[in-house]
Amino acid sequence: MDAVVENNFVVTLTENAADHVRTLLAKEEKNAGKALRLFVEGGGCSGMQYSMVFDEKREDDFSAELHGVSVLVDPFSANYLRGSVIDFKDELNGGGFKISNPNARQSCGCGKSFEA
């Protein structure tokens, strides 16, 4: 599934998150040319957990360029992530990537897992 216009993509990446992703990509030569993969998997405090990794595009991935960052989401994860906003907060306490997911019935305190 080819690139989709940003407004209709599975997730939204804020400019702050995109800036931080570009910084991470620049730090590791092994990640050159890779995209940010967002996915969910079983685990965490609430049953499902969010994960991110730099990866190559797969045939059935949803993909888009968001603020200059290539983003990938597999079809399974898209069911859980649709409409989510990924942000980055550069704060001493509680900083890092934050995912606001309208599909989560409940999220744990750490913000890294949710119940669908």
pLDDT at 69 over 90: yes
The ranges assigned to domains in the chain are 6-115
Write down the pLDDT at residue 71. Answer: 97
Q: May I ask the CATH class of domain 6-115?
A: mainly beta
Write down the pLDDT at residue 82. Answer: 93
Amino acid at 84: S
CB 75 within 8 A of CB 62: yes
pLDDT in tens, 71-112: 999 999 999 899 999 999 987 777 788 888 888 775 655 455
pLDDT at 7 over 60: no
d(CA 116, CA 106): 7
Local structure of 6: helix, strand or coil? helix
d(CA 74, CA 107): 21
Please, which pLDDT band fits residue 25 given cuts at 50, 70 and 90?
A: very high
